[in-house]
Amino acid sequence: MTNEYTQATDLDYAWLNFELDLPLDPMPDGSPNPFYVNRPGNPTSRLERELTRPYRQPPKYFFSGHRGSGKSTELRRLAVQPAIRQRFWPIHFSIGDQADVNNLDFRDVLLAIGGQMYRQYKAGGGKLPKQMLAELDSWRGQVEEHVTVAGSRIVDFDVESKLNVFFGEAGLKMKLEPKTRQELRQVFERNITGLVTVINDMTQAIHAQAKKPPLILIDDLDKPDLELAKGIFYERRAIMLQPICPIVYTVSSSLFYSPEFEGIRDRAIFLPNVRLHPQGRPTERDAEGYYTLRMFVHKRMSPDLITDDALDMAVRMSGGVFRELARVMRHAIDRAIAAGRGQVEPVDVAGAAAEIRGEYRRILSAEQRRLLQRVRGHNRMEEPDKLAPLLQMLAALEYANGEPWCDVHPALEALLDEMEAHGQNDNR
């Protein structure tokens, strides 16, 4: 076993350090992860400030960003910030562990909130009052009258254990068993206020005992497609705002480009990509952006393992997306190893960019390529209905310095150059 967060001194270990889908957990003492790099103008700082201000109504925030922008890492970091822990009892979880993100419903989310609130508070040493436990057990019994969730094995347990099993089994069956999922949803549909009341009663009990309210941080709610996201956050917005605990919902970035965005815009926070050049000036470097992404690489591998030119090329080819930089580095490192080199060189990064370009070449339609040509020319967020899928697949990348703007993924520039060379230019 290797130390998970140690700077690599050889290319094989460096390849491991650029794993694509591994959010960075803070260290056990709450200190930042050794691989963590703070981004310029980090909007998560705004989220922390707003959460810790006085409020009359428990706030709800809708946290989003494009794939690979670091949302999961930032949410984990937020949960352990001293100001957050002093003010709240944070309850962080991934909806993907509790429900099927490809078939998600607002009732699944509410059940996950209630279940995680109960189980995490209990696991953290919290004790709910007996009267509260009795009320929860009564509600559990009412649900199980209509749906067999955990079977007869919970009968001989004490009340706390029954509830622990119920919430655990209900969440698992919601995720894996379509028939039980449908039955549970029907039960909650008939009495959705009962489920919300369970959440609110536990919120009040935890607040009274811990002297601070629970703060719910739900990761991976950005994974469902646009129609599911609309069903949860637009059509059922009023219900999702009813819990009396503060909540940070992650939401799909596609919702930000739809008319339904109006339903969440007052509490929406977007995590943009790292800007690498000013709008409309692609040859001019943003020094802070380049420094941030160079640090992303140097924290994971010794500077001796990559030439300076190769590193700058890798940063540029990432387009300012952390996950894309990890992808470029993995491809480039593998090429350097295959060639028998002990150092990543520009030719390796160029090969990595070609691989990425080849992936897009297979999936981009002629119309999408023409739209990308126009985006490259003006950098404006126009035709949102057509641009949204390109932003979702990272063929176009969004930035912010005041108003949002966008550019094409740098690896696609050669593809667009080919189109222009063949007379397929479209500047409309």
The DSSP symbol for 125 reads: T
3-class secondary-structure state, position 246? coil
Point out which residues pair with 93 in neighbouring strands. Answer: 218
Task: Enumerate the β-bridge partners of residue 301.
Answer: 8
Opening angle at CA 21, ends 73 and 7, nearest 5: 75
Check whether 169 has a pLDDT greater than 80.
no
> For 149-158, 310-319, 400-409, which range has the lowest pLDDT when averaged over its residues?
149-158
Domain-wise residue ranges, the chain? 41-271, 287-421
Q: What angle do CA 42, 48, 53 make, to 5 degrees?
A: 140
Tokens at residue 428, please?
């409309």
250: left (phi over 0), alpha (psi -120 to 50) or beta: beta
pLDDT at 337 over 90: yes
pLDDT at site 156: 45
DSSP secondary structure of 28-94:
TTSPPPTT--PPTT-HHHHHHHHHTS--SS--EEEEEE-TTS-HHHHHHHHHT-HHHHHH-EEEEEE
Question: Which pLDDT score is estimated for 3?
Answer: 59
Residue of 97 and 349 predicted with greater confidence:
349
pLDDT above 60: residue 428: no
CA–CA separation, 377 and 359 (whole Å): 23
Q: What is the pLDDT of residues 10-53, one digit of tens each?
A: 999 999 999 998 889 998 888 899 999 998 888 899 999 999 99
Q: Which two three-digit tokens encode residue 147?
A: 């749906």
Tens digit of each residue's pLDDT (9 = 90 or more) over 58-73: 999 999 988 888 999 9
Phi, psi of 300 (to 5 degrees): -100, -25
Write out pLDDT tens, residues 271-287. 889 999 999 898 999 99
| Average pLDDT over every residue of 206-234 | 94
The tokens describing 329, both together, are 């580095």
Neighbouring C-beta atoms of residue 161, cutoff 10 Å: 12
Q: Name the residue with higher pLDDT: 400 or 11.
A: 11
pTM of the entire predicted model: 0.89
Which band of pLDDT confidence, cut at 50, 70 and 90, is reported for residue 1?
A: very low
Over range 198-216, report the average pLDDT: 96
Q: 115-148 pLDDT, tens per residue?
A: 999 999 999 999 999 998 999 888 888 887 776 6
Q: What strands lie across the sheet with 214-219, from one edge to the other? A: 89-94, 214-219, 247-250, 60-65, 268-271
